[in-house]
């Protein structure tokens, strides 16, 4: 599919946004899990499905018969579909591939686990990386060990197919689980479906499921997408923004935003069953903001850019997975923050931002084909005008992001360039 590439030049009245109501798309993480389960159990109905490219592409792949499937930049789809196709005896032999960056992202841990269960998977290029040739078959073995500190998606991929395996599945986890809330989300969805699941620190046991209990699922809005509005409110002098549809008993780990942004001056209030209201509260900011984001690494970019805009220091740990995302997010953050006048030091799993009293103006932010780079830097427009290059990348998770910024009275001028082949 051809798609126009564009940059956006952002300007705003300094430190102010319009009081607004924003409807955020359904959670990509929850939607993608439910789509795999729906492919296994067609009676499932899903409401408020994410409109993100990743989810739309996954839905198309699951509903299309082909010999080759290209997931683009969608890491979740690559991991989930690898397990899905490998465990489906009715599936023809398929090739599963992705973008150039996807072919640089490791998948060996998951492939090795599936091969232990009896899967037939072959690397077509570099060992340990996509593209993959997969021949679907019944996976009759039901015990596997899995290194758990690299990607929670490997764990979830196995959990999602487990109730449909003839013998179920016992997963022994080695090392501390990264992004634990995403595994807990998978556990909760399987349990709601009626699967018999037990989960302790190092052991997951899932028995075969013959009859589903819950048929209708309503997908909560995406807390990761909400993070950019937390950042906007933090960077204003006064603001109120309403977002829907969110739950107090959320399955999403990024709901931790409510607590993380309190010291940065953002109050979260559930005003109805479906809405949260974010408001700026007057308070003295910390000189340094510190947090361990081992369980919520996707909001690291948003938080460090918020701190940059507030002029305070920031130390974030638990970030080792950021190096194998759409880009090396740690290096990308360092590059762009230093262009703005900030100073950022890195280790393989942490970052340290020095307080910055003044931002450079009219800087062009590179996005590195990473949707979160585009959206996390956008709130800085409240402090300095800036341009986001290749801004179309937001469609990966939040297609209407630039439209929603304009609802807050932020000027978004798009400058179209060449056509991209997606």
Q: What positions carry a catalytic annotation?
A: 298
Q: Residue 395: helix, strand or coil by DSSP?
A: helix
Q: Residue 78: helix, strand or coil by DSSP?
A: helix
What's the CA angle centered on 360, arms 355 and 366, to 5 degrees?
A: 100
Q: Residue 407: helix, strand or coil by DSSP?
A: helix
Which of 409, 400, 354 is CA-nearest to residue 382? Answer: 409
| Non-local CB neighbours of 112 within 8 Å, separated by 6+ positions | none
Count other C-beta atoms under 10 Å from residue 70's C-beta.
18
| 139 in Cβ contact with 118 (< 8 Å) | yes
Residue 307 tokens, joined: 């701190």
Q: Which residue has the tokens 């807050």?
A: 408
- Is it true that the peptide bond before 25 is cis, omega within 30 degrees of 0? no
The one-character DSSP state at 384 is: S
| Non-local CB neighbours of 310 within 8 Å, separated by 6+ positions | 234, 235, 264, 285
The CA distance from 277 to 267, in Å, is 8
The CA distance from 288 to 186, in Å, is 34
Exposure class string for 287-325: b at 16+ Cβ within 10 A, else e: eebebebbbbbbbbbbbbbbbbbbebbbbbbbbbbbebb
Q: What is the DSSP string of 39-74?
A: HHSTT-EEES---SHHHHHHHHHHT---SEEE-TT-
| Non-local CB neighbours of 132 within 8 Å, separated by 6+ positions | 82, 95, 96, 97, 107, 111, 121, 122, 123, 124
Exposed/middle/buried for residue 65 (C-beta within 10 Å: 0-12, 13-18, 19+): exposed
Which of 382, 385, 377 is CA-nearest to residue 413? Answer: 385
| 163 in Cβ contact with 207 (< 8 Å) | yes
């Amino acid at each position: 599919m051809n798609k126009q590439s564009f940059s956006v030049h952002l300007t705003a009245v300094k430190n102010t946004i319009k009081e607004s109501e924003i409807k955020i798309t359904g959670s990509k993480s929850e939607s993608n899990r439910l789509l795999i389960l729906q492919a296994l159990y067609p009676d499932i109905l899903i409401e408020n499905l994410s409109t993100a490219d990743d989810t739309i592409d996954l839905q198309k792949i699951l509903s299309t018969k082909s010999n080759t499937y290209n997931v683009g930049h969608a890491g979740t789809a690559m991991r989930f579909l690898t397990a899905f196709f490998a465990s489906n005896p009715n599936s023809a032999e398929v090739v599963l591939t992705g973008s150039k960056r996807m072919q640089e992202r490791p998948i060996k841990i998951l492939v090795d686990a599936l091969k232990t269960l009896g899967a037939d998977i072959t690397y077509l290029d570099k060992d340990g990386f996509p593209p993959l040739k997969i021949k679907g078959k019944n996976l009759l073995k039901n015990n596997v060990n899995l290194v758990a500190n690299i990607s929670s998606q490997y764990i979830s991929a196995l959990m999602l197919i487990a109730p449909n395996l003839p013998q179920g599945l016992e997963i022994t986890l080695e090392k501390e689980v990264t992004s634990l809330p995403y595994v807990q989300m998978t556990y909760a969805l399987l349990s709601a479906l009626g699967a018999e699941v037990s989960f302790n620190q190092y052991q997951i046991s899932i028995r075969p499921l013959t009859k589903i209990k819950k048929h209708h699922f309503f997908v909560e809005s995406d807390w990761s997408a909400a993070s950019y509005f937390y950042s906007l409110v933090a960077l204003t002098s006064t603001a109120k923004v309403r977002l829907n549809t969110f739950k107090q008993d959320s399955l999403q780990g990024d709901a931790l935003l409510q607590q993380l942004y309190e010291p940065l001056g953002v109050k979260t209030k559930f005003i109805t069953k479906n809405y949260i209201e974010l408001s700026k509260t007057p308070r003295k900011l910390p000189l340094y903001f510190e947090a361990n984001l081992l369980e919520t690494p996707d909001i690291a970019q948003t938080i460090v850019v918020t701190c940059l805009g507030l002029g305070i220091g920031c130390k974030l740990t638990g970030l080792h997975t950021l190096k194998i995302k759409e880009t090396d997010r740690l290096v990308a953050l360092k590059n762009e923050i230093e262009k703005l006048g900030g100073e950022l030091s890195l280790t393989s799993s942490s970052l340290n931002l020095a307080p910055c009293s003044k931002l450079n103006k009219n800087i062009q932010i590179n996005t590195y084909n990473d949707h979160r780079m585009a959206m996390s830097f956008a709130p800085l427009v409240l402090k300095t005008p800036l341009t986001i290059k290749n801004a179309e990348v937001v469609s990966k998770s939040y297609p209407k992001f630039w439209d929603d910024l304009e609802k807050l009275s932020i000027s978004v001028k798009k400058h179209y360039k060449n056509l991209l082949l997606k």
